[in-house]
Structure formats: structure tokens, C-alpha cells
Chain A
Amino acid sequence: MSTTHAEVPQAQAPVNPLRLTSTQQRLALRVAVIILGALIVLGGMAYNLTHGNTDDPLEDVITILRGEEDSEIGLARYIIVNNQRYPRVLLAGLVGVNLAVAGVMLQGVVRSPMGDPYILGVSAGAGLTSSYILTKYVYASPHTVSAAAFGGALAGTLLVYLIAWDGSGTTTTRLVLTGVALTTMLGIMTTSIIVMNVQGGGQIYFQRLVGGLYGKNIDDYYQLAPWTIGGLVAALVLARQANILALGDDVARGLGLHVERTRFLMAVAAAILAGSAVAVVGMIAFVGLIVPVFVRLVFGSDYRIMIPANTIFGAALVIWADALARLHVPGWLGEAGNEFISVGIVTGVIGGPLFLWMVRARRMQW
């Protein structure tokens, strides 16, 4: 975003990084990338459905998913595909949608590309409340856990906002520092709560600190899906207002926008999406950073386009991250425990360097 109207030489203006000269070219590129994204999602689903401890041919998987009998395919394959791989890949897609769209909305709220739920401590808020309910009230219904996570995410968002924002705005540095402090603080509290409430076998809860899809089933998918739909609808309804807000508070007010109300509702949408994802799979890092940064580069800053594009590429990222996470861990890395690594580790390994590059290349402000 330009900050000066003064005489900036035109060649230096950081405009239009892909150097598209016309709106037609821009449209053509966007359509092509959307189609590519859809293909990446489908390819990722096919890969995850066919690969695992034992690989299955795609025809077999299709037969199984259609519910057709085939005596050549063993019963075990039916169970693995139907009960493990299928729900897991659907859940991966939803989690990607949630975290990416939550990132877009939060970035609009704080007016910074660093508005990722993980970086800002929003995920940590959801992690704390959902872990408390999960470990303290073992028989709580899944939706209670999700609601608690939503509450934690919203509280985290408001906390960041209150601390880092003064009358006129904030800086990315202040936001990120606030997020670091909140994440650390809430993470320690989450760990303490797990330690205080779980006697033995706490690993399953500690995995939530990194975020993973191991052992997830169709119930987890149904726990998340309504929140995804609700959050997405909220985000899309708010897209027009978000576009106005992107012109700055003063211009937006002048155009007739309720600035504070819009910002709050966008934060609620982000909390619905991020909180519900954390409730089910734990804190997966940086999805809300990686995907929106890429989408903004190709699709521009119109929320009516950014939100759908983020659903596609969010799903693509987490599905493929899960494909990588399901690879066997090489022996030199570690012999003990789970032979699978976690999705959150994969996104962390991709997102961390991106984050550092953005800091280094001064891409922390639009």
C-alpha cells in the first residue's frame, strides 16, 4: 500500500508485483489459478485416499467410496479407506478453509499481513479454553468444546486488539510482539492445565499444541463442518464491508460504514473459523499466513474474490501438508513414538521461513 502521495518515482512503486498491465490479463490469470487450485485439491484428495501404510489403486478407492462390493478388495481396505483416510482428507480440507479464511478476516481487522490466528495468539486462546474443557470435563459434548474454543479465540482477538491498537491504528511490530507474548503465556497455561488434569497418556492432548490429524474420524468432521459453513457465510456477508474498511478508517466512515461494528464482526467470523478448527485438530501454525499472502499476490485485495480463493488454497495447503505428514519419519530423525509427523510441523516448516522472509524483505506492511 502506498503511504506517500509525494513524488515517488513510478518505477519504484511496489505495484502489481506480477506486472500485469490490463484487467483482462489479470482476470485470465485469476481464472487459470483457480482452476489450478481446484486440480491441486482434487489431486491431493486422490493422493491421500490412495496412500498410506499400504497403497491402493485409485479404482479400488473409488469402488470403496461408492459403497460397491468387490470381493478382490479385502475388508481391511474398506475400513481403512472409509473410516480413516476419507474422513481425514475431508477434515484436512475444512481445517485449511477455516484457518486461511480466518487469516484473511483477521488481516482486515488489524490491517496487517501478519494477521494470522496463530501469530496473533488467537489460536492459543482457543487452545487454552478447548484444552481446559477437554481435560477437565471429559464427557463434554464436542460442540461444547468447539464453543469454548470459539470463546477463547474471540477473547484472544479482542485482547490483541485492545493491547496493540490505539485510536488510530497499530503497527505490525506491535501486533506481532503482542501475539508472541499472548501465545507464550496462553501456551504455558494450556500445558499447565493438561499437566494438572491428565494422569498419564497426556500425549494425545499435547499433540494439540502442534496440531495434527492423526486418528481423526468422521465425528470430528461433523464437529467442524457446521462452524466452517457458519464462518464462511459470515465472512462472505461481510466481504463488501471489509472492502470499504480496507480504504482506511476515515474514508470508510465517510462512505457510510460502521467501522467499529464491522471490525468486531470480522473478528467474530475469524474466531468462529479459527476457534472451531483448533477445537478439533489443535494449533496448526501459519496456514492463515501462507495462504492469504499467496492469494493476495495473485487475486488482489477484493474480499469477494479473496475469500473463495482462500477456501480453495487453504484446503489445498492442509491436504498436501497432511500428505507430507503421513510420510514415514526417517530413522535419523527419531525412532520412538509415532511413525507419522504432524500437519502442524509441516505448515510450521513452510510458514516459518516465509514469515522470516517477510520480515527480511520488509513485506510486513501492505
Chain B
Amino acid sequence: MTNGNHPAVSLRTDNLTLGYRRGVAVVQRLVLDVAQGEIVTLVGPNGSGKSTILRALARLMRPQDGAVYLDGKSIHRLSTRKVAQQLAILPQRPDAPDDLTVRELVARGRFARQSWWRASGQEDRQVVEWALAATGMDALQDRFLNTLSGGERQRGWIALALAQEPRILLLDEPTTFLDISHQLEVMDLLQTLNADNGLSIVMVLHDLNQAARFSHRLVALCKGDVYAAGPPAEVMTEDMLRVVFQVQGVVGRDPHTATPTFTPLQSVRNGSSDRDGSPDRTDSSDRPGTVSSC
């Protein structure tokens, strides 16, 4: 089904300016490029614009300026159905009616490929079964969503996205509300889908070690600007972490996965390292141990 013999689809932004109010841009003139088969993770502190960018990539919000291009065409000019056949998004905390079974949920992923006169058919059933199997949810397909654990439910939502047969999957903090074993379960699943099906993945993650371990490319964001972008080994530097995240720490190398790791030692946010509690912060950037942010 979704196995590599589809044409490559690219996702690109050009001078993307995003904001929630006129004149107040959260993200300015962003240039971002995602190639087919890549896992790209957006990292950055709260308020750096990660989720906003992801929403714009998924055409959930309109840019104030610039555009998102799906395969060279502006995503807001394409029909939303056509976009949904190429690109799927899993928002941060999706919510479904109580009485839905996993299978019923996943079947709704076929919406953009069905019409009023051509409801669910043979092909739809096959894709739903594939999506359930790919996420390991086939055994749980008749369970009601609210009877599932957090990790199972998240896999169910990923199965919904897969049922769209997308070439690009966007995920907003897919592991944030899960315990560590469920987090790994979800990340392993995403890695497998990427490796086996050539699915491009763009996601927002809070856990830097996870981001470094599972991504081909990291994009470190600071106040809506790209501070650094590239392979994890290049982006995950002590400098970047100090400037972007305002954390002093040590970057090492995971002996098992050979990916960079980060051990945070101390916050260097303006004022937070003031051990004397001095209210005078006018010259805090000149003090040793504090950094002006990017």
C-alpha cells in the first residue's frame, strides 16, 4: 500500500511569516525544507513558535506572509481534500467521542478519499487494516478509545493519520503525555514507518535526547527564527543549548545509538542563576554565567 513506489513529495516554506494578531509575528520569514523520507524535528523552548510552524505546515493556520509549498504548490491554494491525501497531522491533544472504537476512528481517516456517493469500499477496508496492523492496533481494534492506555490511544491516532495514506506525517508533541515506555513505543513506531514506507515525518518534541536519537535533522528554533538546522550531531551543541534553551550542560554521545545526548546541569536564564536573589537585573547579561538569549 504505502510502500515506496509513490512519487516523492516535498514540503517547503518560503519567507513564512506567522502570527495570531496583525502586526505581531510569532515566526518571521522562515525558510524550511523537508525532503521525502526525512525525519525532521523542531526543537525549541516554550514560545519559540514550534507548534505554530507545525500548524502552518498542516494548513491549520493561514500565514500572514509567505507560503507553504507542498510539491511546489501553495498549500492554501490546493483543495483541502487533495492536501489530506498527501499530508496528515496529529495535533497535540486530539479528542474523540467516548463511544468510538479504534477501528471506527481509523476508518474516518479515509474521509478525503471517499465521497458521498462512494462510501467505504474494499480498498478502504484494506488500508484501514494495514494502518491497524502497522501500528500494532489490530488486536485492539474493537476496543473503545477511552479503555486504552495513553500509548495505545496515541497509536490509534497515528493509525488514523496512516489511513489517509499520507506521504508526510506531522506530529505535535506525540509523546508529551506518555510515560517513558509508551514514549519509546511511539518513537519506535514512527521510526519503523519512516524506514519501511518512506514516510516523511515532521514533529515537535520536547525531549532533546529523543529528538537527537530519532531524527535525521533537527531544527532549533528561537523566538520564531531558525538558530541552527542540520544533523543532530551538528545542531546539538553546548552553545546552542545555552543560547536557545538557556541551559548549561554537557553534550555527550550515546554508546548504544551513537547519537548525541545532553545532560542539563543548570539554567542560565536571565535572573534564574542569581543566587543572591538580587532584584537588580539591569546588567544581568554582563554577569558571568548568564547569556543574552538569541
Contact = CB atoms under 8 A, between A and B. Distances in A.
Nearest to A299: B99
Contacts of A244: 108, 111
Top 4 closest pairs, chain A to chain B, by CB: A256-B84, A256-B112, A301-B97, A300-B99
B59 interface: yes
B95 A248 contact: yes
Contact of A301 (B55, B94, B98): B98
A248 B94 contact: yes
Interface stretch (A6-14, A50-58, A271-279): A6-14
Contacts of A240: 111, 114, 116, 119
Interface stretch (A15-23, A122-130, A322-330): A15-23
Interface stretch (B2-10, B27-35, B141-149, B229-237): B141-149
A254 interface: yes
Interface string A297-340: 00011100000000000000000000000000000000000000
Contacts of B114: 240
A301 B99 CA distance: 7
B157 to A, nearest CB: 8
Interface string B151-162: 001100000110
Interface of B: 55, 58-60, 80-81, 83-85, 88-91, 93-101, 104-105, 108-109, 111-112, 114, 116, 119, 142, 144-147, 149-150, 153-154, 160-161, 164, 177-179
A255 B81 CA distance: 8
Interface string A94-130: 0000000000000000000000000000000000000
B84 A255 contact: yes
A1 interface: yes
B177 A5 contact: yes
Given A16-B99, A250-B91, A256-B83, A6 B146 contact: no
A243 B98 contact: no
Size range of the chain A interface in the assembly: 20 to 34
Given A253-B60, A254-B84, A256-B84, A22 B97 contact: no
Contacts of A247: 94-96, 105, 108
A248 B119 CA distance: 21
A interface majority secondary structure:
loop
A15 B98 contact: yes
Interface of A: 1-7, 10, 13-16, 22-23, 237, 240, 243-244, 246-248, 250-251, 253-258, 300-302, 366
B104 A254 contact: no
Nearest to B153: A5
A12 B59 CA distance: 36
A256 B81 contact: yes
Given A5-B150, A15-B146, A15-B147, A256 B95 contact: no
A256 B85 contact: yes
Contact of B116 (A1, A4, A237): A237
Contact of A255 (B95, B112, B116, B178): B112
Which of B55, B59, B93, B153 has most chain A Cβ within 10 Å? B93
A248 B142 CA distance: 22
Contact of B147 (A10, A250, A254, A366): A10
B124 to A, nearest CB: 13
Contact of A2 (B111, B116, B146): B146
B109 A255 contact: yes
Nearest to A26: B99
A1 B80 contact: no
Contact of B88 (A15, A237, A246, A254): A254
Contact of A246 (B96, B145, B178, B179): B96
